[in-house]
Amino acid sequence: MAKAEDLVRETVKRIVPYSPGKSSAEVMQELGIEEVIKLASNENPLGPSPLAVRAMQQAASGANIYPDPQCVELTEALADMLEVPPETIVVGRGSDEVIHMLGLAFVGEGERIVYADPPFALYPYTARLMAAEEAAVPHRDCRHDLDAMAEAVDERTKLLFISNPYNPFGSILTADELGAFMDRIPDTCIVVFDEAYFEYVDDPAYPDTLEYVRDGTRCAVLRTFSKAHALAGLRIGYGIAPEDISAALKQVREPFNVGAVAQAAALASLHDPDQVPRSVANNRAGREYLQQQFEELGLEFVPTQANFVFVNVRMDSVECFDALMRRGVTVRTGEIFGLPTWIRVTIGTPEQNRTFIAALGEVLAERR
């Protein structure tokens, strides 16, 4: 009898399953501690809007009915907020699913996907799923190397991903930098602006990439309700693209792909005028605090525009992770990004940030 592994497509064998790290429950059980502060997954520590919670509760009573497959109410609300036609918007199970749709709709076997290295995990995943060629362009000083990325584009390149702010570093590309870059990209390649953290950016040089959509440029803008809207557990995000591109995405979108509870929560969150501002304000204060503390500790870090900070702890990041975990704090290790002495820490509440800094100070003191 043939083994299942012998039947799997060769390109799928190259996919490395995503590793989310240990959950708080696993850590508490393993170490016998009562509380764990999770600062590993760039989640919003403040939680969702009370309006969204109420909407979830109400929508749950209708869970026996399939959700709106077109996400009409949410799409119209987004279109009104973003000042784009509703036809340009496609809603997915997180922006991750929109990335998946882009691969299904536009990338054929042997074609090419370009992205910065280290990448968000879904970029190489999509390339391998579609049996495409990967062009992973090394970062330059924790930023996208736009010159090298433009040079990596050839006639077979279908997608090019720009993560802005760039996870795991938190750096951004400016409007001027992107303008010059876009002039070099042929219209046979779709430039995908992954803006999962855009709400947190306060640098005035940050680009308005929706102008490219409005102009009909071959591009897609990806955004999510997982971060500033604090709905990561519901898996809902969206893409905005010129209508011919969004139409192709809708052709490959699964029926009823986004649940009714998620749609209701996202719509309610959009209507809460306080949700994003309170998240942004907490993040800005936390960012300033953490970066100041890192300076006082003499630690190198990447100035961030996102809801996380990438910092060089000058020790093995896995050892640092283990030591922090024993103190009830989890972070993301840097070796998965090719930087083994760095960690990525999510910006939490003021109390969580202070607890992390105290724990990190103890860990570093033990190393002296």
DSSP 144-171: --HHHHHHH--TTEEEEEEESSBTTTTB
Domains 4-47+275-367 and 50-270 share a fold: no
**Spatial CB neighbours of 50, under 8 Å, sequence gap ≥ 6:** 272
For the domain made up of 4-47+275-367, give the CATH fold: Aspartate Aminotransferase, domain 1 (3.90.1150)
What pLDDT does 10 receive? 79
pLDDT for residue 18 is more than 70 = no
pLDDT for residue 275 is more than 70 = yes
Average pLDDT over residues 54-59: 98
Please say whether the structural domain 50-270 has been given the CATH code 3.40.640.10.
yes
* Residue from 300, 320, 319, 318 nearest 310 by CA: 300
What pLDDT does 11 receive? 80
Please state the domain extents for the chain: 4-47+275-367, 50-270
What pLDDT does 5 receive? 80
pLDDT for residue 29 is more than 80 = no
Contact 163, 116 (CB under 8 A): yes
Helix 260-270 to helix 50-60 angle, to the nearest 10 degrees? 150
What pLDDT does 164 receive? 98
Q: How does residue 28 score in pLDDT terms, banded at 50, 70 and 90?
A: low
Per-residue pLDDT reduced to its tens digit, 285-334: 999 999 999 999 999 999 999 999 999 999 999 999 999 999 999 999 99
Contact 221, 239 (CB under 8 A): yes
Q: 313 to each of 206, 318, 364, 366, how far by Cα in Å?
A: 29, 11, 8, 13
**Spatial CB neighbours of 183, under 8 Å, sequence gap ≥ 6:** none
pLDDT for residue 14 is more than 90 = no
